[in-house]
Amino acid sequence: MTPSEIRRLYKITKVQLSYGLDELLPKQPITRGPHLMRKMLFWMKNRHTDKAMGARLRLALQELGPVWIKFGQMMSTRRDLFPPAIADQLAMLQDQVEPFDGKLAKAQMEDALGGPLETWFDDFDETPLASASIAQVHTATLKENGREVVLKVIRPDILPVIQADIKLMYRMARIVSRFLPEARRLKPVEVIREYEKTLLDELDLMREAANAIQLRRNFENDHILYVPEVFSDYCRTSLMVSERIYGIQVSDIEGLKANGTNLKLLAERGVQVFFTQVFRDSFFHADMHPGNVFVSYDHPEDPQWIGLDCGIVGTLNREDKRYLAENFLAFFNRDYRKVAELHVDSGWVPHDTNVDEFEFAIRTVCEPIFEKPLCEISFGHVLLNLFNTARRFNMEVQPQLVLLQKTLLYVEGLGRQLYPQLDLWDTAKPFLEDWMGRQVGPQAVWNAIKEKAPFWAEKLPELPELVYDSLRQGRQVNQRMDVMYREFMAARKRQNKAKFLLGVGATMLVTSAILYSNQIEVLPEVAGGIAVFSWMFAWRAFNK
């Protein structure tokens, strides 16, 4: 290890011990080391004994900086690995950090664009509008048309920090995986690898720009969600330029009320936005925390959501959507057998799973939930309970479902915050039933025909020629079959004739032997001759 890595490891260990995170380790002989280090090397007590473990973990990650904050945010989505007491605290992590110098930000932008910023923009504000762990945002106007824009630039010093901390994370994950068998279930190395990919993806603002363009196009003719326009001509890997929007942060309930916003309709539209993204588009914003969601000032009686920061998106294939919709419907109809069978059919749990036992486990966990009124049931926690139950039956982690679960929890939390009486099921069920109705039955057939119509329209002019070719080829095949059949029958006839002659020859040979043994002189020779001639004709018949 380099000296800088040793210093960083020292700080990480010091922070972890000061928050008592060594208590997360299982009680085994190998884990006595951290406790001895606390006493012998650091002389440091747990300074936060009054706080629960989840809160201590959250505070420690905040103190360690941006990379660890992002790691905690990612871990909060892995509720298949962490208990609610920890996952809920990690979900509270906010990555608001000190901004870096505006002049340096401007230099970064000019380096990305390849020229002075004034070539393309006016009124650039060196004071950042917002600052986060990976990037920060500045405002300006486009020189060509005067439109207000925001310029998002990656922190210049973030990549070396990420690489160094990721390297240390891998070291610690491998040690934990090697020496603590109980911790292997958490798959520490795989978790770090997944985090590394997510983090490096966020460093590519061209990817975020493409996501935003796709999401905006999906809702181009739908007034329930607005995604700011991206000016792709000015976007680079480390720079993204998009339309500046003005809105009320969705968590600012007082501000929404002061603007006269219809909170009930706003909450219901949040649910509608989520299910539309998932089931209609198969492309959903997977980071809809309050910092990324605003509400338009315009038309408060007909409110519109505004989605920002599309760095993390999720996708579902047709099979996942079908199984997910059927799971939701079966679950809320209390058809636990159907839920169990769907998990097996989809391959989410092994095919040799005992369906009866799985059904009973789901019923045991979920029946108490339905003792409450539907409006009090958390849709997100229903999904969470379902996944946790399936995990006991070796359900494989489905990354796309983990992202979806996280997004659903965000949306439901926001909706209940806006309108506590929100009945998410009452809003979602008609959508799911309508979607399922379009996947099966006559409507599905008609949709499939419409979907394939351009293909058939393109092939229609070729159809007469294709039909003619098919008929001609069919006739040629029939002719070949006739020839083959006649040849087969002739060969079979020859074989039958040859077999008959062989039989005659064999009979004459036996007859000749019997006559000869009885000392009859002439007849054995005649029978032998007949046998020889019979075999000659048989050989000739075989070789025609």
Q: How far is Cα 41 from Cα 206, in angstroms, rounded to an integer? A: 46
Extended beta strands in 174-298, E state: 225-226, 239-243, 247-249, 283-285, 293-296
113-153 pLDDT, tens digit per residue, is: 999 999 999 999 999 998 877 889 999 999 989 999 999 99
Q: How far is Cα 280 from Cα 304, in angstroms, rounded to an integer? A: 19
Residues 6+ apart with CB under 8 A from 488: none
pLDDT of residue 271: 84
pLDDT of residue 321: 80
Using CA atoms, how far residue 303 sits from 172, 216, 260, 417, in Å, is: 48, 17, 10, 16
Q: Is 152 annotated for ligand binding? A: yes
Q: Is 133 annotated for ligand binding? A: yes
If pLDDT is split at 50, 70 and 90, which confidence band does 30 have? very low
Provide the 10 A C-beta neighbour count for residue 430. Answer: 10
To the query of whether residue 50 is one of the catalytic residues in this protein, the response is no
Please indicate whether residue 214 or residue 31 has the higher confidence score (pLDDT).
Answer: 214
Please indicate whether residue 21 or residue 156 has the higher confidence score (pLDDT).
Answer: 156
Q: Is 105 annotated for ligand binding? A: no
If you average pLDDT over each of 209-223, 323-337, 355-369, 499-513, which comes out highest? 209-223
Burial of 448 (0-12, 13-18, 19+ CB in 10 A): exposed
Q: Per the residue annotation, which of 80, 165, 287, 423 is the catalytic one? A: 287
Average pLDDT over residues 62-88: 72
Average pLDDT over residues 259-267: 91
pLDDT of residue 245: 92
Is the per-residue pLDDT at 214 higher than 50?
yes
408-467 pLDDT, tens digit per residue, is: 777 777 777 788 877 777 777 777 777 777 765 555 555 556 555 665 566 667 667 766
335-392 pLDDT, tens digit per residue, is: 888 888 888 887 777 888 888 888 888 888 777 766 665 566 666 666 667 767 776 7
Q: Is 137 annotated for ligand binding? A: yes
Please indicate whether residue 298 or residue 543 has the higher confidence score (pLDDT).
Answer: 298
The pair of structure tokens assigned to 412 is 């439901």
Is the per-residue pLDDT at 31 higher than 50?
no
Is the per-residue pLDDT at 260 higher than 90?
yes
Is the per-residue pLDDT at 84 higher than 60?
yes
Provide the 10 A C-beta neighbour count for residue 67. Answer: 22
